Amino acid sequence: MTLKIKNLSKSYGKKEILDNVSFTFESNKIYGIVGRNGVGKTTFFEVLNKDTPYNDGSIKIDNNDIDENVSLIPATPNVPPFLTGREFVSFFLELNKDKLKNPKTIDEYFKMIDISPSDQNKIMKNYSTGMKNKIETLLGIISEKEVLLLDEPLTSLDIVVQEEVKKLLKSVKKDRIIIVTTHILDIALDLCDEIIILKDKKFELIDSKNLEKKAYRDSIIKALKDKNND
């Protein structure tokens, strides 16, 4: 499976965000889009998720329209505070039961994100940001969408939860395209199979072949500094 972005352009009035971007994402990989704050990472996700229209170009999954094959997990968790985690996941499963090809039990799903039975039955108003993030990530996984987008998924999480979410994402990348945005290089290096620099309104894939970690890191930082990203 491939997600093909061809000659994609997006602007807000006179402000151009993406300029003639072309890139092919492949399944079974986690891609990291790295860039300075404000370069358009979130805008790119909003375009893929059909939250905002683009000006020109095309977006295809295996030469078909992208339709409803994308699940976006936003940077700020947005869960109903009056429901327990278990009630919310149960409601989502019931709502999507006719769409799921390989459903698991609700207990199997909660085991995936390591939330204890006692925490499952707490109202989500009392959840930490990390727990809310894990619930939203779980819904994205349950949805079985072909493309999973995570906007700054690990930035606000503690070290333990970061490791749990990284492990979870790596375990579910088979037959999916997973794309994450981050401005923290260590997260991208540890989580992603491929790293893309977004700068000057375009994508640049950083070649990781035969590069040691320090050399790879240095090449990414150099790419970010080479041109003005404002």
pLDDT digits (tens, 9 = 90+) for 58-79: 999 998 998 889 999 998 889 9
pLDDT at 43 over 90: yes
Residue 12 lies in a domain: yes
Among the listed residues 140, 133, 139, 195, the one whose alpha carbon sits nearest the alpha carbon of residue 165: 133
Residue ranges making up the domain that contains 72 = 2-76+146-226
* pLDDT at position 227: 55
* pLDDT at position 80: 96
Q: What global pTM score does this model have?
A: 0.90
One DSSP character per residue, the chain reads: -EEEEEEEEEEETTEEEEEEEEEEEETTEEEEEE--TTSSHHHHHHHHTTSS--SEEEEEETTEE-TT-EEEE-SS----TTSBHHHHHHHHHHHTTTT-SS---HHHHHHHHT--HHHHTSBGGG--HHHHHHHHHHHHHHTT-SEEEEES-STTS-HHHHHHHHHHHHHT-TT-EEEEEES-HHHHHHH-SEEEEEETTEEEEEP-TT--HHHHHHHHHHHHHHS---
User: What is the CATH classification number for the domain harbouring 68?
Assistant: 3.40.50.300
Residue 213 lies in a domain: yes
Residue 132 lies in a domain: no
Residue 69 lies in a domain: yes
Residue 84 lies in a domain: no
Overall domain count for the chain? 1
Residue 93 lies in a domain: no
Cβ atoms 218, 60 nearer than 8 A: no
pLDDT at 24 over 80: yes
Quote the CA–CA distance of 112 and 167 in Å, as a whole number.
10
At 210, is the pLDDT very low, low, confident or very high (cuts 50, 70, 90)?
low
Residue 95 lies in a domain: no
Least confident of 18-22, 189-193, 216-220: 216-220
